[in-house]
Amino acid sequence: MSDTQSEPGTVRLNFDLAEGLHRQVRIRAVQEGRTVKEVCTELLERWLAQPTVSDLVELRNYAAEAARISQRVAEIAEQLAP
């Protein structure tokens, strides 16, 4: 496969990167025995695995609802207590 073709099931991604940053990434990748592609893939996968702002807002809404439910359960339990 030539350098101009992507591996099957992949896409080629081209973007501009500051020379200094690219040099640092290449050096670190070599130090770790990895390719720049492997490093970039890992970083993108980690970034995508992080919660988004909308995920956090949704979790906050669930937390507020859980607090309301907990309060209501406590009120009902108090009424049922002998």
The whole-number average pLDDT for the span 64-70 is 90
Q: Round to whole Å and give the CA distance between 38 and 82.
A: 65
Residue 25: what pLDDT?
A: 97
Are 7 and 38 within one domain? yes
Q: Round to whole Å and give the CA distance between 41 and 29.
A: 12
Contacts of 40 (CB under 8 A, 6+ apart): 25
3-state secondary structure of 31: helix
Res 3 pLDDT > 60: no
pTM greater than the 0.75 cutoff? no
Range of the domain at 61: 51-82
Are 10 and 42 within one domain? yes
Q: Among residues 28, 23, 58, 59, which one has the least CA distance to residue 43?
A: 28
Are 29 and 3 within one domain? yes
- The predicted-structure confidence for 29-64, as pLDDT tens digits, reads as follows 999 999 999 999 999 999 999 989 888 888 888 888
Contacts of 59 (CB under 8 A, 6+ apart): 51
Are 45 and 75 within one domain? no
